[in-house]
Amino acid sequence: MKELNKTDVIVVGGGPAGISCAITIARGGKKVVLIERGAFAGSKNVFGGAIYTQPTKEIFPDFETTAPLERHNTEHKFLILGENDSTSISYKNKIGGSYTVIRGNFDRWMAEKAKETGVYLVEKTVVRELIQENGRVIGVKTELENYFADVVILADGVNSLLAKQIGLRKDFEPKDVALSVKEVLKLDTGKINERFNLSDNEGCIHEIFGGPMLGMLGLGFMYTNKDTITIGLGLTLSELAERGLKPYEVLEDLKSHPTIAPLIKDAVLEEYSAHLIPEGGYKKVPKLVSDGVLIVGDAGMLVNNLHWEGTNLAMLSGKYAGETVLEAYNQNDFTEKTLKRYEEKLKNSFVMKDLKTYKDLMDIAHKKSDSFMDYYLRTINSFFEMFTTVDSVPKREKYLSFIKKFLQDRGIKGLFSDLWNGIKLVWSILWH
Amino acid sequence: MALEDKLYTLKYTPDTTSHLKPDMNDCKRCDKRACTTVCPAKVYEWQNDNMTVNFENCLECGACRIVCPYKSLKWEYPKGTKGVTFKLG
């Protein structure tokens, strides 16, 4: 009976991680069944966002000419919003290393590519449980049938109930996950080009600090697509819960900020969405391997929050998992002992190295959100306000009173604590 | 723009039963009720002593399950043909 519904590998989840893993295994000549709970790949998925050229090429070498891409990002802008003012820094480079995409279109394209390599895609099907025998995962239970495989890959996203089921991970604490809400707004291509100073195929990634998120652990984002603008924000769940804030109201406040509002004026809402983003970092990455099972992507909390890297880490982890599975076939061993090579591949790549580099970032950010995410953001704006205001106050007086206010408001103790934590953070990033 | 208008931009295929099952005993004695504010789709609403679960609006993010202080919210994905569909995501 067990031989029916048996394949080589089952991948749960048709997102970037799952598809990359499935494609890698299919290219290696093995049979893969990719199970997606949505109507189509991408229909239950949300991201910013942009995909990075180099990592995407590792899975899809010719994606730049064949995939549905929005704009090629040639500018990266950092906006520091005060209550009503803002200071911005922009880096422009014609070469640019990323493209904005629409998840629904791009994931569907990736899924088609997967099917072309022989991956068997099953949609509208939820895997409810993993089937285990003597502690080893041997298959999955959907709402309709049981399917069996030599290895099961968990690419089921940030909530990964399946990884929880077999004890590889615990559920999130509110401080280790961010809730993101976003809106895609329709705006004429010409208007986008004009307002953002871009030509047809150029795009700008906006990273937004402060504004309605002053004092909180949160970031805003804005992307330019062909004829739509994506705007959204992510706030650590514990912040939202403790302050009793509604995420969509904070987003409305961001949209009406004097610096942001003119950029999206008259744009019409096309779609609203929400999703969780893992924030625990290196310290909270779960056990990624066990007998007969591997975890990839958001399910393994592989997200670099500072750099907004989740999709590329998902794709690469999928690739490494796929390679590991092919190696396991050579040895005909699917126990943890052999599958552990996946963790080694991750450790030796920038994926785990970057997560480790930033392992203390979230702890320090939590501790210091009142200063790093509030006071200093306001101070930057106050400085430029002072510097650019011409009135009858002599410059020296302005500088001295600015410095005096800075020292008084923050206090000597506060400043030392800020400096100390800043040094600790830099130290933790540069040394292990 | 009201939240209802934003949710209107989404494609929903609602089921007849809820995939979200809070424990009403815990809900009644909960004082924070964080799920009611944190939810990006306002699924949880209180009227006097009763909480309604507007599961048809659920965006399947998982925030409610995580903020529940009693960890007693039974949270599952809707059936494979049901729930929200992000056309753009």
Residue A226 burial class via C-beta count within 10 angstroms: exposed 0-12, middle 13-18, buried 19 and up: middle
The answer, for B72 touching chain A at a CB cutoff of 8 Å, is no
pLDDT tens-digit series, residues A161-174? 999 999 999 999 99
Instruction: Give the one of A44, A246, A252 whose C-beta lies nearest to B60's C-beta.
Output: A44
pLDDT tens for chain A, 432 residues long, are: 445 789 999 999 999 999 999 999 999 999 999 999 999 999 999 999 999 999 999 999 999 999 999 999 999 999 999 999 999 999 999 998 999 999 999 999 999 999 999 999 999 999 999 999 999 999 999 998 999 999 999 999 999 999 999 999 999 999 999 999 999 999 999 999 999 999 999 999 999 999 999 999 999 999 999 999 999 999 999 999 999 999 999 999 999 999 999 999 999 999 999 999 999 999 999 999 999 999 999 999 999 998 999 999 999 999 999 999 999 999 999 999 999 999 999 999 999 999 999 999 988 888 888 888 899 999 999 999 999 999 999 999 999 999 999 889 888 899 999 999 999 999 989 986
Residue A273 and residue B89: Cα distance in Å, rounded?
7
Q: Is A366 helix (H, G, I), strand (E, B) or coil?
A: helix
Residue B70 and residue A214: Cα distance in Å, rounded?
30
A125 and B80 within 8 Å at the Cβ level: the answer is yes
Q: Pick from B14, B8, B9: which is nearest to B78 by CA?
A: B14
The amino acid present at A77, given as its one-letter code, is: K
Question: pLDDT over 90 for what percent of chain B?
Answer: 92
Bridge partner residues of A186 (DSSP) = A228, A268
Q: CA of A255 to nearest chain B CA: how many angstroms apart?
A: 11
- Residues with Cβ < 8 Å from A263, sequence gap 6 or more? A195, A196, A222, A229
Instruction: Give the one of A143, A245, A246 whose C-beta lies nearest to B79's C-beta.
Output: A143
Residue with tokens 């049981």: A146
Instruction: Give the one of B9, B37, B86 whose C-beta lies nearest to A245's C-beta.
Output: B37
Q: CA of B18 to nearest chain A CA: how many angstroms apart?
A: 16
Q: Is there a contact between A36 and A112 (Cβ–Cβ < 8 Å)?
A: no
Nearest CA in chain B to A178: B63
Residue B28 and residue A106: Cα distance in Å, rounded?
44
Q: Is the pLDDT assigned to residue B71 strictly greater than 80?
A: yes
Q: Is A273 helix (H, G, I), strand (E, B) or coil?
A: strand
Residue A239 and residue A333: Cα distance in Å, rounded?
45
Instruction: Give the one of B1, B71, B80 whose C-beta lies nearest to A124's C-beta.
Output: B80
Q: Is there a contact between A288 and A295 (Cβ–Cβ < 8 Å)?
A: yes
Q: Is A25 helix (H, G, I), strand (E, B) or coil?
A: helix
Chain A positions in Cβ-Cβ contact with residue B60 (cut-off 8 Å):
44
Nearest CA in chain B to A181: B40
Q: Is there a contact between A276 and A182 (Cβ–Cβ < 8 Å)?
A: no
Chain A positions in Cβ-Cβ contact with residue B71 (cut-off 8 Å):
171
- Return the pLDDT at A3: 56
Rounded (5°) CA angle A196-A47-A322 = 130
- Count Cα atoms within 13 angstroms, Cβ side, for A18: 34
Rounded (5°) CA angle B87-B88-B89 = 105
Q: Is the pLDDT assigned to residue B52 strictly greater than 60?
A: yes
Q: For residue A38, what is the DSSP state?
A: S
- Return the pLDDT at A329: 97
- Return the pLDDT at B89: 85
The amino acid present at A56, given as its one-letter code, is: T
Q: Pick from A4, A294, A306: which is nearest to A156 by CA?
A: A294
pLDDT tens-digit series, residues A321-354? 999 999 999 999 999 999 999 999 999 999 999 9
- Element holding A294 (H helix, E strand): strand A293-295
Q: CA of B16 to nearest chain A CA: how many angstroms apart?
A: 16
User: Measured between alpha carbons, how far is residue B63 from residues A16, A34, B41, B51 in Å?
Assistant: 22, 26, 11, 17
Q: Is there a contact between A141 and A130 (Cβ–Cβ < 8 Å)?
A: yes
Q: Is there a contact between A88 and A78 (Cβ–Cβ < 8 Å)?
A: yes
Residue with tokens 């937004």: A208
Output the DSSP codes for A295-336.
E-GGGGT--BTTTTBSHHHHHHHHHHHHHHHHHHHHHT--SH
Q: Which two tokens stand for residue B9?
A: 């931009």
Strands A32-35 and A9-12: parallel
Chain A positions in Cβ-Cβ contact with residue B81 (cut-off 8 Å):
39, 124
Chain B positions in Cβ-Cβ contact with residue A102 (cut-off 8 Å):
88-89
